[in-house]
Chain A
Amino acid sequence: MSAERLTSLLAGLVSIDDSGTFEDLDSLRLIDMVERVESEYGIRIAAEHVTPQAFANVNALAELVLRLKKEGA
């Protein structure tokens, strides 16, 4: 799991600044992100996983994806 791969995956879906922080992340884009990440990594992101911290930036989201993959979610 790399932040670079996530950045590439989410390109065009949400704005990401130089520090990896998501910008203009509204509800619709957030759901789009969840579904694209689920599809790419074969995981299921539940409501409890969608926290402001986990979706603050690319690195935090990468950590979540890695954790869910380990847990077999």
Chain B
Amino acid sequence: MSRAEPRFFLPEGVRIVSTGAYLPERVVTNADLVAMGATLTAEEMERACGVCERRFAAPDQATSDLAIAACDRALGDRDRTFVDRVVVATVSPDHMTPAAACTVQHALSLGYAPAHDLTASCAGFIYALDLATRCVATGDRQVLACAADVRSRFVNFHDRSTVALFGDGAAAVLVGSGAPNVLGVALLAEGSGARAVYVPAGGSRLPASAQTVAERGHTIVMADGPQVYLAAVDGMIAIGEALLARLELSLRDVAMIVPHQPNRRILERIARLMRFPIERMWINVERTGNVSGASCGIALDEALRSGKLVDGSLVLMIAGGAGYTAGAALLRVDRELLEAS
């Protein structure tokens, strides 16, 4: 992935109007995972991935419920009739069909706004942001771009390589026209990695059956963790640096990196290899876990509320995930966005 060439979109007059995020109430510690059947100790989990706790959705919550909460926070009391599209990036939709976005659209009283999902795994938030900026650039008034996942329903609690990683949550941005703060987006995919991290059963390749359930075929499989680990590092660095180069900027111009949160060690490695101060990288993985596509958006929402960004700060978002997919986006934070967050 490091040698691949991303596709760029440098929008004009497109901005993130506001952000919102939602984490379920239930906190699940590493000790809780041990009680659920994990075969690592709590200390081993923390050392392996730096995650101390994560949030799990309540039994009656599905992905759309989390997305609705995040989108509702992003919308606030704004006039919802201006929303011309809703896109939800997810790898754990409520159902195989229809799109979770349709449930979100209805719950938020967004009229007849087109609503659809997209699947880009851990790069989902940036893929959704890319789509939203393109839609606004070509005529939509406002677009809700959301990433939401309930990964806890797809975790094999006996799988040492994945049991500690994942959490549930959602993030959303309202994208519209105006003084631009989205300077550029870069995306790529490298499909040769499609089986590196995947859920084998439940799709058309291997439909659900008693056997697939018995064999835990509906849970996340990551057969070669080190390869995924290093590929994620290489991909996230490469696409971030490529976007900066395309915009004729460098890391010296960047106030903060807001990355996808795959695990703490990956983020430390990225900071070291990019020679970027880790204290200027927004890291929340120790308390959220890897929330797949929503991670980057949740981190952005937190960073904007942190008081560490000011009018004019450049924020580089980077993400990489299953597929492989990768994305980067560069924002120039402005006062209006800070006040809206």
> Which residues of A pack against B, CB within 8 Å?
27-28, 30-31, 34-35, 44-47, 50
With the chains together, A47 CA to B230 CA distance in Å?
5
B161 in contact with A50 (CB, 8 Å)? no
Whether A35 contacts B269 in the complex (CB less than 8 A), given A46-B2, A47-B231, comes out as yes
A50 in contact with B273 (CB, 8 Å)? no
Shortest Cβ distance from residue B51 to the other chain A in the assembled complex, whole angstroms: 14
With the chains together, A45 CA to B225 CA distance in Å?
15
With the chains together, A36 CA to B233 CA distance in Å?
16
- Which residues in B have their C-beta under 8 angstroms from that of A34? 226, 230
Total interface residues on B, using CB and 8 Å?
17
A31 in contact with B226 (CB, 8 Å)? yes
Whether A28 contacts B231 in the complex (CB less than 8 A), given A34-B226, A35-B269, A46-B2, comes out as no
With the chains together, A27 CA to B222 CA distance in Å?
11
With the chains together, A27 CA to B228 CA distance in Å?
10
Which A residue sits closest to B161, measured CB to CB?
A: A27
Whether A47 contacts B234 in the complex (CB less than 8 A), given A30-B226, A31-B226, A31-B265, comes out as yes
- B112 close to A (CB within 8 Å): no
With the chains together, A29 CA to B2 CA distance in Å?
24
A27 in contact with B225 (CB, 8 Å)? yes
List which B212-271 residues lie within 8 A (CB) of chain A: 225-227, 229-231, 233-234, 265, 269
A45 in contact with B230 (CB, 8 Å)? yes
- B48 close to A (CB within 8 Å): yes
List which B254-297 residues lie within 8 A (CB) of chain A: 265, 269, 273
- Which residues in B have their C-beta under 8 angstroms from that of A50? 226-227, 230
- Which residues in B have their C-beta under 8 angstroms from that of A31? 225-226, 229, 265
- Which residues in A have their C-beta under 8 angstroms from that of B234? 46-47
- Which residues in B have their C-beta under 8 angstroms from that of A27? 161, 225-226, 229
19 further A-B contacts with Cβ under 8 Å, apart from A30-B226, A34-B230, A50-B230, are A27-B161, A27-B229, A28-B44, A28-B47, A31-B225, A31-B226, A31-B229, A31-B265, A34-B226, A35-B269, A45-B230, A46-B2, A46-B230, A47-B1, A47-B2, A47-B227, A47-B229, A50-B226, A50-B227
